Amino acid sequence: MITAMIAIFALGYLCIALEHRLKIDKAATALVMCGVLWTLFALRGGDGGLGDALAGHLGSTCEILVFLIGAMAIVGLIDAYGGFAVVTRRIAVRGKRRLLWLLALVAFFMSAVLDNMTTAIVMVTLLRALVPDRDERWLCASVIVIAANSGGAWSPIGDVTTIMLWMNDNVTAWPLMRSLLLPCLVSTVIPVLLASRGLRGTFPAPAAAAAAHAGKRIAAADAPTRRSARTPAAGNGRNPGRGKAGAAMRTEAAARRRSLLFLAAGVAGLLFVPLFRSLTGLPPYMGMMIALGVLWALSEWMNRRVPADAAAVRMPEVLRRVDLSTILFFLGILMAVGALESAGLLRAAAQALDRGVHEVFAVAGAIGLLSSVIDNVPLVAACMGMYPVADAATVAAGADAAYRMAFVADGLFWRLLSFCAGTGGSLLIIGSAAGVVVMGIERITFAWYLRRMAWLALAGYVAGMALIWIERLAGF
Cα 290 from Cα 71, distance rounded (Å): 11
pLDDT value at position 312? 54
Task: Indicate the range of 94-98, 135-139, 465-469 predicted with least confidence.
Answer: 94-98
Alpha-helix runs per DSSP H in 432-453? 433-442, 446-452
pLDDT value at position 229? 40
Residues 326-342 have a mean pLDDT of 85
Q: Given pLDDT bands bounded at 50, 70 and 90, which one contains residue 194?
A: very high
Q: Residue 109, Cβ neighbours under 10 Å: how many?
A: 15
Asked if pLDDT for residue 226 goes beyond 50, the answer is no
Q: Give the model confidence (pLDDT) of 39-64 as tens digits.
A: 999 887 655 578 888 888 898 889 88
Q: Given pLDDT bands bounded at 50, 70 and 90, which one contains residue 210?
A: very low
Cα 258 from Cα 238, distance rounded (Å): 28
Q: Give the model confidence (pLDDT) of 342-371 as tens digits.
A: 888 877 777 777 778 888 999 899 888 888
Q: Residue 465, Cβ neighbours under 10 Å: how many?
A: 22
Cα 280 from Cα 258, distance rounded (Å): 31
pLDDT value at position 218? 46
- 45 versus 470: the higher-pLDDT residue is 470
Cα 101 from Cα 197, distance rounded (Å): 12
pLDDT value at position 204? 67
| CB within 8 Å of 395: residues ≥ 6 apart | 401, 404, 405, 407, 408
Task: For the chain, give the mean pLDDT.
Answer: 82
Cα 19 from Cα 37, distance rounded (Å): 20
Cα 337 from Cα 26, distance rounded (Å): 15
Contact yes or no for 159/176 (Cβ under 8 A): no
pLDDT value at position 4? 92
Phi, psi of 456 (to 5 degrees): -65, -45
Cα 358 from Cα 363, distance rounded (Å): 8
pLDDT value at position 39? 93
Identify which of 416, 413, 401, 425 has the alpha carbon closest to the alpha carbon of residue 465: 416
Q: What is the 3-state secondary structure (H, E, C) of 270-292?
A: HHHHHHHHHHHCCCHHHHHHHHH
Burial of 42 (0-12, 13-18, 19+ CB in 10 A): middle
pLDDT value at position 370? 83
Q: Given pLDDT bands bounded at 50, 70 and 90, which one contains residue 147?
A: very high
Identify which of 316, 283, 286 has the alpha carbon closest to the alpha carbon of residue 299: 316
Cα 432 from Cα 370, distance rounded (Å): 11
Asked if pLDDT for residue 292 goes beyond 60, the answer is yes
**Integer angstrom CA distances of residue 224 from 78, 84, 233, 428:** 22, 24, 16, 48
**Integer angstrom CA distances of residue 182 from 12, 195, 262:** 36, 20, 30
Identify which of 237, 70, 318, 362 has the alpha carbon closest to the alpha carbon of residue 370: 362
Contact yes or no for 276/282 (Cβ under 8 A): yes
Asked if pLDDT for residue 398 goes beyond 90, the answer is no
Contact yes or no for 328/25 (Cβ under 8 A): no
pLDDT value at position 310? 54
Helix (H) or strand (E) holding 177: helix 173-195
Q: Is 94 helix (H, G, I), strand (E, B) or coil?
A: coil
**Integer angstrom CA distances of residue 328 from 322, 390, 436:** 11, 30, 18
Residue at 207: amino acid letter? A
pLDDT value at position 224? 45
pLDDT value at position 126? 75
Q: Give the model confidence (pLDDT) of 227-250 as tens digits.
A: 444 444 444 445 554 566 766 677
Cα 193 from Cα 202, distance rounded (Å): 17
Facing residues of 239 across strands? 236
Q: What percent of the chain has pLDDT over 90?
A: 25
Hey, what's the torsion of the CAs at 276, 115, 260, 286, to 10 degrees? -20
Rounded CA Rg of the chain: 24
Residues 285-297 have a mean pLDDT of 93
- 379 versus 276: the higher-pLDDT residue is 276
Task: Indicate the range of 87-96, 97-106, 189-198 predicted with least confidence.
Answer: 87-96
DSSP state of 199: -
**Integer angstrom CA distances of residue 245 from 43, 224, 248, 475:** 73, 16, 5, 64
DSSP state of 215: G
Residue at 120: amino acid letter? A
* Helix, strand, coil shares, percent, the chain, to 5: 75, 0, 20
Cα 141 from Cα 133, distance rounded (Å): 12
Burial of 358 (0-12, 13-18, 19+ CB in 10 A): exposed
pLDDT value at position 92? 67
Q: How long, in residues, is the chain?
A: 476
